[in-house]
Structure formats: C-alpha cells, structure tokens
Amino acid sequence: MAEVATRAIGAPVRRIEGRAKVTGAARYAVEHDPGEVAYGWIVQAQVARGKITDIDDAEARSQPGVLHVLWHGNAPRLEEVSDAELAVFQEPRVAYRGQIVAAVVADNPEAAREAARLVRVKVHEEPHDVGLRADHPHLYKPDKVNPSFPSDTDKGDVDAALARAEVTIDHTYSTPAYHNNAMEPHATLARWDGDRLTVYDSNQGAAAHRAPLAKAFGLEPEQVRVLAEHVGGGFGSKGTPRPQMIVAAMLARISGRAVKLPVTRQQMFAFTGYRTPTIQRMRLGATGDGRITAIEHRVFEQTSQIREFAEQAATPTRVMYATDNLRTSHRLVRLDVPTPSWMRAPGECPGMYALESAIDELALAVGIDPIELRIRNDADAEPDSGKPFSSRNLVACLREGADRFGWADRDPRQRQRDGRWFIGSGVAASTYPAYQRDAEATARVQPDGSFRVGIAAADIGTGARTALTQIAADTLGVPVERVRVDIGDSALPRAGVAGGSMGTSSWGAAVAKACEALLAEMERGGSEAHADTKAEIEAKKDLARHAFGAQFAEVRVDGETGEIRVSRLLGVFAAGRIVNPVTARSQFIGGMTMGMGMALFEESVMDRRYGDYLNHDLAQYHVPANADVADIEVAWIEEDDPELNRIGTKGIGEIGIVGTAAAIANAVHHATGLRFRALPIHLDGLVGAGT
C-alpha cells in the first residue's frame, strides 16, 4: 500500500449531508415523490398461533378510494424466499401475533388505514407458547450461532477446575426482549416500470436487499433497484429485508401504481426484528488471589416457529479472560413469537452484561478491586482459539478510564450517601470483533477535476458518507470538498450491509483501493478505476481481531423512591484508527446511551395470555430521553494495528453499547448493596433501599 498523507482522516469533518438533514431537504424512503402514488396499510394477525379460515374483505373494498385488499387467497405466488418472514400471503398459517395477514392499498392514507380496520380475519386459534424458560422441554442446540460461530465450545476441564477452585461464582442473569426502535419506522416505496422494480426502502444495505427481492419476484438482480440514500437509523433491524418491502412491491404490481407502505411504530414490535430475551448461567472459578481458573457461560434464548435466529451471547466470553478451562453453549427454543434478529452488538451486548456482572461479583468475593481483577486476568492470546491478538488494549482502556474517572478516590465500601441519595460507581469491560467484508468501489475524475466515488454502502446515521469521503480525499491527496461519494443505491458497486461495525473497514478499504487505482490510471491517461478487496481479505493472517473498551458509571439512587439517576458515564475504547473524531464520539455516546436504556428503561413485555408484546409504542417502551442523559464522556486509545485493513479501523458502531449495562448495574450494587441479575433494573426492587 502506498504511503498516504493523512489530512482528512482524523480531522473533525462535519457530516457531508448535515445541511440536508437540518433543513428538511434529506429524503428518506417514502418521502420520495414518484408521481401518482397509492398508499398501503398492513393488517396483522390477532392470535399467536393458528390457521386463517377466511378473510372477509368486502366492507374494506367498498370504502371510497380503496383499490385492492391482498391476502393469501388472492395474492401472487412468490418464487424463491429463503427467509420465511418474507413469505407474506403465501399460506394461511399464523406463526405469531402481529404477523402480516392482509394489506390494503388505497388512493390516500386515510382510506387505506380505515379499510385495514375493516378487514375481517377469521382464524382457527390454537394454543400458543410464548414463554422462554431455561428448563423448557423443547430447548435444542442450534448448528451454529449468528453469524457462523460454533454453538458450543469446551476447552480444558471446566468441571474439575470448578471443583478445585478456591472461590466460585454461580449466578443466572437475564435480559428481556429489546426492540431496536430506530426513529424512522421501516418503510418502502415500490414502483414497477414494466418488469423492472424500483424500491426506496429504509434499510442498512441496498445491495443486500436487492437479491432477496429479485428472487422473491423471479427477477434478475439487474431488474431490481433498491435506493436508500438517507436512513433514519436501524441498529440492526434494517440489516435484513423486512416483509413490508415484499408487501409494497406486491401492492404496487397489483394496483399499477407506485405504493408507499410505511410501517407503524406499533407494527414494528411484531415483524421488524428485536433482541431475543436471554437467560444466562455464569459459573466462574478462581484462586484466592483472583486468578480465573474456569469459566462456563450457558445461554438460553428464543426463536420463532418459522426461522432460526441464534444470538451469539456467549461468544464474548471466548475472547475476554485468560483461563485454561472454558466452556460456552447456546440453547434455543422455538416459540410462537416473532423471529428475533440483530440489534446493536447482537451477542456481545447481552453476553457481556452477564460476564461483566459475574466478574464484579468475583472481585467482591476475592476482595480485589474490579479493575485490578480484570488486569490480572488479561489474556495474551484469544482464550478459546489460542490465536494471537492483532492488538488488545483492554488494560490501557481500564487504566486510562480509571484516571479520567477518578477511580483511585473511590471508596470500595457500599452505600455511601449524599442526603437521601445513595451514590455508587461501577466498571465493566467492552469488546466487539473487528470484522471486514469484501466490497467493490469505483472512482473517477470529472472533467472539472473533482472526483466521484461510488459504492453501495449505507449511512444510517453512522457518518459513513463522511468517513468514506475523508478516506477518498486522503488517498487522492485532495481536500474533501473535491470528492463526492455516492452511496445507498444497489446500482452502485457491491457492498455489504451496515452491520457488524464493519462499514468503514469494509467500504473504506474498497474506496481507498479504488482511489489508488484511479491515481495509477490517471498517470496512464485514464479517468476511471474499479477495485475489489476480495483477494486482500482472503490473504489476511489468521489472527484474533477485536476492539476493547472500559466503561465507568456513577449512579445516584434515591433511598426512598428507588429512582436511579446515571450522573456520569465514561467510555474509553481501543478501536483502531478513528477516522472522524466528531462522528466517532457521537457513535460511542449513542451506543452508551442505548446501553443505559438497556440497563434501566427498556423492556418488551410479553403478554403470555395473548402472545403479544404489550408495550408496543414509545409511550410504554421507554428509550432514554434527553433528561436521562446527564454527563457522558468518551475517550479512545489510538491504536496503530497494521493487521486490520488498509484503513486501520476496528469499527465503533456497536462497542459503545457493550458493557454499559453491566457498569450501571455494578454501580447500583456499589450504591445500594443490592445485586440485580435481571434487566432492566426496576424501581420496585430499590424502593426503601435506604431503610
């Protein structure tokens, strides 16, 4: 790789699309104006399990403005659908409450909504089971966990080591279902021009959405175009296609109109994905001076009747602490529930809540400071695989964080008071893998000397467009103003989804390579170049590549009411090179804020009687509001790791949420002496903590 002078990389460049976003000019999916348009509205199943016997759509169809009502009795057959969640209207079975069973298309949104209310769905209801239990009789071992990790691992002799251990910890931690709840609900605008299909869709990867859409309708990929220039957040839930995209395309075909199909906030709780609830049993063995001799992490989770999704919650335990005896496992049960899916740091996020809570409990049991305990058990090779790390700066993050947070002044005694408030602080580690996926990009020089780069990347609020522009500008040796990066269009060169915190690493490497190729091409008189990173990724060494971090929380707990306030959060991360300090800081803060929600507010409550997530709106599913966030500080350790990718990045989108909940729960324990092993921490468990 040529030596590149960095001017834009590392500079606090403001978001390229900032002006469009603050003026309202940025158009999101169904805000595009395709000319004459019709409006779709979705009808959902009102039972958790059963078979539709009939649908009476007569009254709905008789409403003024209604064009069609679509359901399994009259819908077109889909060709090839690998994700059963996308096989809408193909059969009368109902696999979960809220599944899409019919849809209306009308001249205006009011008529569509009213008609949807009038569709009568007759269902033969069957008994359902929506309760996850660690002793469920139908638990099974999945072949692999997301995306392709082994379900179980077993190194050394965990049972013998636990039996010999001077100190043991054996606790079960649980997390509820969480919903991603991006601000822009999933939405699709679909339009057919003959046998060509164009969709404006709110998603995390235009290319990844094109292939399944084309297959479903029996089209060649070239006949389908997916556009997602601006996306109002995703957090994983828009990483895979959602059924409204298929419904919108069906409604557009049958009505001959462009169709806008926005999903409502309430509907999002059923068919747009969520984080599975988890039950996690952690067993630790250690010597009296706090050296870990055994770790066992057993995870129990749910999936749906129609598709398997296995969250890899035990995988961070394979990465974190040195031990000769290490066993992890995942067990799933198929319930009559919607299919869980990706939500910010699937696996690491719930898994590290359990591990880092247990580590805190171990620190107390052996009487060693929790930072010192983590340093004492730091690993110099990946504990499960034995692979060397490309770089690992967990200890540096812990030390830097301790300095910034003032950890040395912390009194380890619990229940320190400030009037009616108990005050406590806690720490937890973070980790997230540094992935890279192959991608392609084009770069060309324009007649006016400016540059244009194209890649089917996505900016869902991450700052990807800006980071890629910085990378291109530095590679080309020009100011960012001279470069335009086009993203969010499946017609652009192939790129993977915005997921796995690998956008900058994957897309950035392709952009840099294309720009390098363009410079060479320009010397030969050319003006355009194309690059593919597949070969260089296949040539990478077999190393363990992960980002690490340390999170610190200070909480105040009202001894009378149990109210918890997070007065301070600090995150210190070692995530390779930071391309843009402004947008990176925002991403870390955003992840930590969502982690605070996980710890204290967020919880999708399953109504076992009706099989529904009860609190399916933002008035009842509480995400952090402005007043919840007092003081968040973020810092990072600069890493120069040549074994990552051309850019030297590890990814920052997800690690911010990993560890926050454990740090807060550990702080609540320090404040009150009460240990909460089930999230979120409810006030009722703290009421009267002062007495």
Q: Are strands 149-150 and 144-145 parallel, antiparallel or unpaired?
A: antiparallel
Closest approach of Cβ 241 to another protein, in Å?
Answer: 19
**DSSP assignment letter at 83:** S
Nearer to another protein, 16 or 246 (CB): 16
Nearer to another protein, 227 or 282 (CB): 227
Residue 58 neighbours by CB under 8 Å, 6+ apart: none
Nearer to another protein, 242 or 330 (CB): 242
Closest approach of Cβ 623 to another protein, in Å?
Answer: 6
Residue 492 Rama label (left phi>0; alpha psi -120 to 50; beta):
beta
Closest approach of Cβ 622 to another protein, in Å?
Answer: 10
Closest approach of Cβ 151 to another protein, in Å?
Answer: 32
Q: How far apart are CA 691 and CA 678, in angstroms?
A: 23
Nearer to another protein, 230 or 331 (CB): 230
Closest approach of Cβ 626 to another protein, in Å?
Answer: 5
User: Could you tell me how far CA 429 lies from the centroid of its own chain?
Assistant: 19
| Gap between the terminal Cα atoms of the chain | 65
Closest approach of Cβ 235 to another protein, in Å?
Answer: 7
The dihedral of CA 498, 278, 353, 270: what is its sign? positive
Query: Taking a C-beta distance cutoff of 8 angstroms, is the pair 687, 420 a contact?
Result: no
Nearer to another protein, 335 or 460 (CB): 460
Nearer to another protein, 31 or 532 (CB): 31
From 184, 308, 521, 654, the catalytic residue: 654
Q: How far apart are CA 277 and CA 280, in angstroms?
A: 10
Nearer to another protein, 340 or 571 (CB): 571
Note the residues at the interface with another protein (CB under 8 A): 14-15, 17-28, 31, 33, 39, 64, 108-110, 114, 181-185, 230-233, 235, 262, 264-265, 460-463, 582-583, 585-587, 589-594, 617-619, 623-627, 629-630, 632
Q: How far apart are CA 446 and CA 448, in angstroms?
A: 5
Closest approach of Cβ 271 to another protein, in Å?
Answer: 17
Q: Of 400, 350, 432, 428, which is closest to residue 653 (Cα–Cα)?
A: 432
Q: Of 576, 625, 577, 581, which is closest to residue 600 (Cα–Cα)?
A: 625
Tokens, residue 169: 């910890």
Helix (H) or strand (E) holding 123: strand 120-125
Helix (H) or strand (E) holding 333: strand 325-334
Q: Is 639 a catalytic residue?
A: no
Query: Taking a C-beta distance cutoff of 8 angstroms, is the pair 243, 43 a contact?
Result: no
Phi, psi dihedrals of residue 572, rounded to the nearest 5°: -120, 125
Helix (H) or strand (E) holding 325: strand 325-334
- Amino acid identity for residue 616 in this structure: H
- For residue 429, the cross-strand partners are 550
Q: Would you please indicate which residues are annotated as catalytic (active-site) residues?
A: 654
